[in-house]
Amino acid sequence: MDEKVVVITGASAGIGAATAELLASRGMSVVLVARRKDALVRVAARCGARALATVADVGRREEVRRVVAEALARFGRMDVWVNNVGRGISRAPSELTDEDVDEVMRLNVKSALYGMQEVLPHFKAQGAGHVINVSSMLGRIPFATIRSAYCGAKHFLNALTATFRAEVQQTHPGIQVSLVSPPVVRTEFGLNALHGGPDSRQLPDSQSAEEVAAVIAEVIASRRADVYTRKGARDRVAGYYAAVGEDA
């Protein structure tokens, strides 16, 4: 595990930064990707000499392609790609605009799709690789009305993850595609949501970014396909859909 090269998008803060620092502390090389140069450089400095900071907007395919090229130029290979970019939105479903939906899909779905597609040729060539997509409990249970478009985007990401895995493993079983679903995480996610929103750090039933990072590290080691970051979450999801079925 300590020799792996791991690309992490959304690495300038929150879950991405915590994951980068944890993996670097375990001897892995990390490629840190985000739009905010100053914050990204600070995280890279904490990760040490085996970190590469790459400023890019992964909601644009050509920039994801550049990240792949820069990672290979520096390290010669990639072993894990963590799609961690995401942004919330605070707007009821009846009020969503075309622009709202387009931006949420670009940041939460297209960014992951570009990562999966652009790293895939390299993984196929080396016969192994691992994509980890960071989703959300809102991608399982749409319990926050103001997060309507975000819930939809994460549901889309979950389906995309499962179908991408099924397709790739038909011919390349050494390539894994995993999904990680955290609850509310104590980061600036809520404050950074489109149209503003409640501070995620003040909401109940939350986890720290470090707790989620520890689960991501475990998924790299175990290569499990579908993982929740909090005990009991799977039962909560099953209970929600059982109740929906009873109502129907």
**Contact partners, residue 164, CB within 8 Å, separation at least 6:** 116, 131, 177
The 10s digit of each residue's pLDDT in 95-135 is 999 999 999 999 999 999 999 999 999 999 999 999 999 99
Please give the pLDDT value at position 246. 61
Contact 200, 206 (CB under 8 A): yes
Q: Quickly tell me which residue has 């969503």 as its tokens.
A: 96
Collapsed DSSP state (helix, strand, coil) of residue 230: coil
User: What positions carry a catalytic annotation?
Assistant: 150
49 CB neighbour count, 10 Å cutoff: 8
Please report, in angstroms and rounded to a whole number, the separation of the first and last CA atoms in the chain. 47
Please give the pLDDT value at position 194. 81
What is the C-alpha to C-alpha distance for residues 226 and 219, in angstroms, rounded to an integer?
9
Percent of the chain whose predicted confidence (pLDDT) is above 90: 84
Q: Which of 10-19, 200-209, 218-227, 235-244 has the lowest mean pLDDT?
A: 200-209
What is the C-alpha to C-alpha distance for residues 150 and 100, in angstroms, rounded to an integer?
10
Please give the pLDDT value at position 1. 47
What is the C-alpha to C-alpha distance for residues 129 and 173, in angstroms, rounded to an integer?
10
Please give the pLDDT value at position 147. 93
**Contact partners, residue 211, CB within 8 Å, separation at least 6:** 229
CATH topology of domain 5-247: Rossmann fold (3.40.50)
pLDDT band of 184, cuts 50, 70, 90: confident
What is the C-alpha to C-alpha distance for residues 89 and 110, in angstroms, rounded to an integer?
16
Strand partners of residue 54 = 33
What does the domain layout of the chain look like in residue ranges? 5-247
If one compares 60 and 197, the residue with the highest pLDDT of the two is 60
Please give the pLDDT value at position 115. 98
Across the range 202-227, mean pLDDT stands at 91
Is the predicted pLDDT of residue 248 greater than 60, yes or no? no
* Model confidence pTM above 0.85: yes
Opening angle at CA 85, ends 79 and 87, nearest 5: 165
Please give the pLDDT value at position 3. 87
Please give the pLDDT value at position 143. 87
